[in-house]
Structure 1
Amino acid sequence: MRYNGTLRYEILTEGGIDEWGEPIKAQSAWSEAIPCSIKTNSDNRKGRYEDGEFRQASFTILVECIPFPYNRVKLERMGENLGEYRVMNAEPLTTVGRTQIVV
């Protein structure tokens, strides 16, 4: 497979209660970069609001077959940061040994 970008997924650690009964805040971190193939479904950079602009985009990503129970990903393609997105669907493509992710 030819790669044109990288994907990082969000790793969440649950909070809890410490030994004194105080709440422990949940933490999040990003994984190491995983090489992937990113295809743009739609990319609209025309959104504007009072303080600036926003981007509406959708991508299809192919990665080597890995279990993918994650909810958020950060994408980068050829040095350009594409943004942080919520995973809509992750489907294993077992015949080709890949996982297809739609954000």
Structure 2
Amino acid sequence: MTDVDHIIIGSGINALVAAALLSRKGDSVLVVEREDRIGGCMMTEEVTLPGFHHDVMAATFVLFLTGPAYGALGEDLAKHGLEFCHSPHPTAALRPNGQAL
């Protein structure tokens, strides 16, 4: 095994941000994940109907977007294809009678 400066257990958004910021400083980082995908609870899945994809836990992105980590990493992430699509109506409450707020 190669020597590394930091070992991070888990690959959720906080772990990935920490790894990115540490590696940006020039430190070597090993991220270890037990699941078959990275991202922790952040994933795109068909959770309602076939063909309808949802970004599970997408509300967490708001915390990332408004925090200092996105300020530090946003430009580099955009170079790798990360793009956020914003809606003029970001939240709603659907009522049983068909009305929405």
TM-score normalised over the length of structure 1: 0.26
Q: TM-score, normalised by structure 2?
A: 0.26
Looking at secondary structure, tell me which structure has more helix per residue: 2
Q: Which has the higher contact order (CA 8 A, sep 6+)?
A: 1
* Structure with the larger strand share: 1
